[in-house]
A and B are shown apart, each in its own frame.
Chain A
Amino acid sequence: MGMGSGDIITPIVIGIMLGGLYALIALGLSLVFGVMRLINLAHGDLVVLSSYIAYALLTYLGLDPVVGLVISIPFMFILGFLIQRYLLGKGFAVSSETPLIIAFGISLVLQNLNQILWTPLSRGLNTSYTHASFFLGERQFPATYLLDFAAGIIVMLALRLFLTRTYMGRAISAASQDKRAAQLMGINTNRVYGYAFAVAMGSAAIAGVFLGMTFPFTPTSGTSFLTIAFGTVIIGGLGSMAGTFFGGIILGVFQTMGGYFLGPASQMLIVYVLVLLILAIRPTGLFGR
């Protein structure tokens, strides 16, 4: 990242593609926030969990990470449903802060768990194609970035389709717009929340795989990705899948531009600062409701 002097096109293109990855990570968070007004503090760690699962499947079974999704998506889906049903959902009944604290607890449990299982050493998902590159004219880019971008678009469209064309998806949408009206329409909001969270975890599973193929990850990476996801959601507006996608692109470009002008070491810091700035100025996001 940050190719130095002169060529500004490369960081822009990279920023856009990276934005696809960021959107991929953020879509689940956006969905959950739109429906339940809950920022799942454990989201980043759940994405990283998926990266570790893919790592395990790759290392011990030789399964290609994308193929491994066949296992990890259902696993994360069910895990998500259970977390919502038995942990977060029960927390809502206590008070509105309780789910937040519980999510915080889950986050740290996951971090420690991954640390015990995998040591703090950074890992990556390496396959035959993760180090390939492709050319746009004379410029060379890593192939994984393109895969990330494609995955981002596909998942975003899939989620949109789900939310607008299926009954459960419509129910999720309705519950996020007006909970009381949704209940009066015969929607079992508790069940809907469970499914929303489960779907979000499914998308997190995908995000984890592509993340692992793009960047090395450690047990504590979750916090950075939570921040990125949160920044994306904030910029793009809550609950809107397309908005989140564009939010990701904006964040990605902003980051690479920052790296271009201020040096690569400060890239994460720039993201943090941007998030705080947006929170200060316009918390509902650029496209938000």
Chain B
Amino acid sequence: MSDDIVLRMKNVDVFHGTFQALWNVSLEVRQGEMLALIGANTAGKTTLLDAISGMLHPKSGSIEFLGKEIGGLDPYRIVELGITQVPEGRRVFPDMTVLDNLIIGSYAGIARRKKPENLKIVHDLFPRLLERKRQVAKTLSGGEQQMLAIGRGLMAAPRLMLIDEMSLGLAPIVVDEIFKVLEEIRKRGITVLFVEQNVNRTLQEADRAYILETGRVALSGTAEDLRNNAEVKKAYFGVDSCEVKPGGYGG
């Protein structure tokens, strides 16, 4: 594995019971990049993140993180190894305070030792979380909860951060704020893989992207290439006419 690549998935199949959700998925995540995963609701994006996080185990194929095979490991092991997921819907612990939510983020492995310094970093990135540290999490606004969820993820001292549908239900101005923070996070050497439905915005922020269609990788490339790609334009931006080629757009 070259120095550059942080995570590599090769020919991964994932099942939900008897239903196959991911088909022969291969992707690479490079150190320090903002990688986007795009696709419709049922494309399998969350399933892919869950496979990386260990919540689901691949039926076949391999997932390597920093050279180590992680497919089939328990979720807590994967957090210990340095991958953290900010789940869809934020899922902050509703009855805990903001501060306690952050503290529990540093539960696993070496993160505990780093708690004081990480806490400072998170408070610098999200001053509002410092202000509201004694506030119970369920009383926060959507945007604040998202910040808390990301901050909580940071407390785990990750190398790779997976963020699922962060902009859902948030005002564009809040989303801007959060993207700015993600840029800061990136500067600290953390790689970000984020999942979004909002293709336009995503392709502005990301370095590279993969497009998922019904559990398969349909397209991939740099954000620039994808922005200019005719098929992507037609499918997601509705630029061209509604002419449907036989067999779909066959990527």
Contact = CB atoms under 8 A, between A and B. Distances in A.
Direct contact of A and B (CB under 8 A): yes
Contacts of B123: none
A177 B94 contact: yes
Given A167-B107, A170-B103, A170-B104, A184 B87 contact: yes
B64 interface: no
A178 interface: yes
A164 B100 CA distance: 8
Most buried by B among A174, A184, A188: A184
B80 A186 contact: yes
A161 interface: no
A178 B55 CA distance: 14
Interface stretch (B71-79, B191-199, B218-226): B71-79
B103 A184 contact: no
A173 B96 contact: yes
Nearest to A289: B95
Contacts of A180: 55, 87, 91
Contact of B93 (A167, A174, A186, A189): A174
B85 interface: yes
Interface string A165-203: 001001101100110111111111100000000000000
B53 interface: yes
B99 to A, nearest CB: 11
Given A170-B103, A174-B104, A185 B79 contact: yes
B118 to A, nearest CB: 13
A186 B87 contact: no
Interface string B96-135: 1000100111011101100000000000000000000000
Contacts, number: 70
A183 B79 CA distance: 9
A264 B109 CA distance: 56
Contacts of A183: 55, 75-76
Contacts of B112: 167
B109 A177 contact: no
B84 interface: yes
B93 A173 contact: yes
B51 interface: no
A182 B107 CA distance: 10
B45 interface: no
B92 interface: yes
A181 to B, nearest CB: 4
Contact of A181 (B74, B91, B108, B156): B91
A189 B79 CA distance: 13
B2 to A, nearest CB: 28
Most buried by B among A170, A174, A185: A185
B74 A185 contact: no
B213 to A, nearest CB: 26
B159 interface: no
A187 B108 contact: yes
Q: Top 4 nearest A-B pairs by Cβ distance?
A: A186-B108, A186-B79, A181-B91, A188-B76
